[in-house]
Structure formats: C-alpha cells, structure tokens
C-alpha cells in the first residue's frame, strides 16, 4: 500500500486534493496533509511517503526548499509541485530538486491522474487496474472480484472510480480507448449485465451515501462532488435507488 503527503497552506486546497482522485483505488491507504513546510519535513521523515505533493508557496516558505531538505535526508519519495503561478523561476527551482512535474492550479484531474499512474508504474514498479493487492477485492457495484473481470472492463471501471465526478459517457470512454462505442457498450453489458450509464449512476449513489453519512456537507455540494450539476436530477436518482431522500438518510444515521 502507498502513502501520500499533501502540503498546502489553504485548507480548501488540501481537502480538494484529497478528493480530486480516488486515491484508494490506486493503493493509497495512508493520506496525510500539512499546512507548513516545517511540519511537512518533520512528517515526511516519519512517514516516508511514496508521493508528496507540495504547493510552491506555503506561507513565506517555498515548497521546493522543503523538498531539497528532504532530498538531503535521502528519502525515496517522488515529488510533485503545484502552483498558482506560471513563474519560470519557480518551475526551474522545482526541476532542480528533481520533482516529477510542475502542475498549475487549479490542478487538472486528468493531468494529475496520468502523472500519478506514471509514477506508480515507472517509479514505484506497481501496476494500474490489476494490482496484486486488488486481486481479491470486490467491485462495489458488481459484487464480483476484480480479477474475474477482463482487462478492458477493469480499465473502464478504473476510469469510473477516478473520474466519476466528471461527465463520463460511453462515447467519451470509447474515444479514449479508440473503440466503436456501440461495440464497447455491448461488451460491457455482456460482462457486467448492465449499461455503463447504470454502473456510473450506482457508483455515484454509493459515493454520495458515503459523503452524506461521513460529512456535514450540504446536499448540493455532495451532488456536485459526485458528478450531478442538476440537483433535482440527483434527488430523483437518489430516491429511486435508496428509496429515501438524502436528508432522510442523514437523519436516520
């Protein structure tokens, strides 16, 4: 299992980065955050994270200076810098520290996803979509072990679990896989006994339930977080799937 450290002095950024990807699906079971470079250096030495994401400006400190301190401690951590500034000097300093990439804020989910996948495969010598640790895991929607599914379907499910908050459609998935959408849809139904749109809806409902029961966030925020821009549409799906409203579920918990 992997460990992740996220460092930024803005609480909303820290929370957003924790949610931008389904880190657990990639094997990150331990995620920690820090809001200062001193705390980050101290925690990193204790935690030894596999990946650490630093903001370039943390208060009056610089993320790349903290990374340099950690490099001197010979940590095997792979570093990513994020910044709200497209400043060449910042990028240059980050590169000198050996960071894997310099991402501009707001961080694009797809770019971060590709970067994390590359680090896992090329740097951490892991695999995507068929990790040994996942071989006995059950898919939360289909209720079957992941290793009983084809590589193609596992790849599609990985897209859903990491990008469910985005506008995922059969057409968009087919384009990324360079396949005919009708043919891909038939393959998915044959193996899972449901349409991709149905799988996506159920997965979103499950994540929404988790947020409702584990946070005090407003229902509108939760709806947007799981990919619903239309709140009424979200309520309709939720009521149909769970047989009760989001508010009723929260009140009964």
Rounded CA-CA distance 165/169 in Å is: 12
Q: What would the two tokens of residue 166 be? A: 């985005």
Contacts of 139 (CB under 8 A, 6+ apart): 145, 146, 149, 157
Q: What is the pLDDT of residue 189?
A: 97
Q: What is the CA radius of gyration of the chain?
A: 20
Q: What is the pLDDT of residue 106?
A: 82
Q: What is the pLDDT of residue 129?
A: 61
Tell me the pairing of strands 61-62 and 57-58.
antiparallel
Task: Answer left, alpha or beta for residue 59, where phi above 0 means left and psi between -120 and 50 means alpha.
Answer: left
Residue 187 to residues 183, 211, 247: CA-CA distances in angstroms? 6, 32, 37
Q: What's the distance, CA 193 to chain centroid?
A: 27
Q: In order of start, what are the domains of the chain with their CATH numbers?
A: 2-123 (3.40.50.2300), 136-253 (1.10.10.60)
Q: What would the two tokens of residue 206 be? A: 């499950």
pLDDT per residue as tens, the chain (253 positions):
899 999 999 998 999 899 899 898 889 989 999 999 999 999 999 999 999 999 999 989 999 999 999 998 889 999 999 988 766 678 778 778 888 888 888 888 888 988 898 888 878 888 776 444 443 467 889 988 877 889 899 889 878 877 788 889 999 999 988 999 999 999 999 999 999 999 999 999 998 998 888 778 889 989 988 999 999 999 999 999 999 999 999 888 6
Q: What is the pLDDT of residue 88?
A: 66
Q: Which residues pair with 2 in a beta bridge?
A: 28
Could you identify the residue written with the tokens 């949610």? Answer: 19
Neighbours of 67 (CB within 10 A): 28
Residue 36 to residues 105, 172, 227: CA-CA distances in angstroms? 18, 40, 32
Q: What is the pLDDT of residue 105?
A: 83
Q: What is the pLDDT of residue 98?
A: 83
């Amino acid at each position: 299992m992997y460990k992740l450290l996220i460092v930024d002095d803005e609480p909303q950024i820290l929370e957003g980065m924790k949610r931008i990807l389904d880190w657990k699906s990639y094997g990150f079971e331990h995620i920690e955050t820090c809001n200062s470079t001193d705390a980050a250096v101290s925690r990193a030495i204790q935690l030894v994270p596999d990946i650490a994401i630093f903001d370039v400006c943390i208060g009056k400190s610089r993320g790349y200076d903290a990374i340099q301190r950690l490099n001197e401690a010979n940590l095997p951590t792979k570093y990513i810098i994020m910044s709200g500034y497209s400043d060449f000097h910042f990028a240059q300093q980050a590169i000198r520290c050996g960071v894997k990439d310099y991402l501009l804020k707001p961080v694009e989910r797809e770019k971060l996803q590709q970067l994390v996948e590359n680090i896992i495969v090329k740097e951490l010598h892991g695999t995507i979509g068929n990790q040994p640790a996942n071989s006995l895991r059950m898919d939360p929607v289909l209720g079957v072990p992941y290793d009983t599914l084809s590589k193609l379907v596992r790849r599609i499910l990985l897209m859903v679990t990491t990008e469910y908050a985005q506008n995922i459609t059969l057409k968009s998935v087919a384009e990324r896989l360079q396949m005919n959408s009708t043919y891909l849809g038939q393959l998915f139904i044959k193996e899972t006994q449901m349409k991709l749109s149905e799988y996506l809806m159920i997965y979103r409902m499950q994540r929404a339930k988790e947020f409702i029961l584990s946070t005090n966030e407003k229902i509108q925020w939760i709806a947007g977080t799981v990919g619903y821009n239309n709140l009424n549409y979200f309520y309709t799906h939720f009521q149909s799937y769970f047989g009760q409203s989001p508010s009723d579920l929260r009140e009964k918990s």
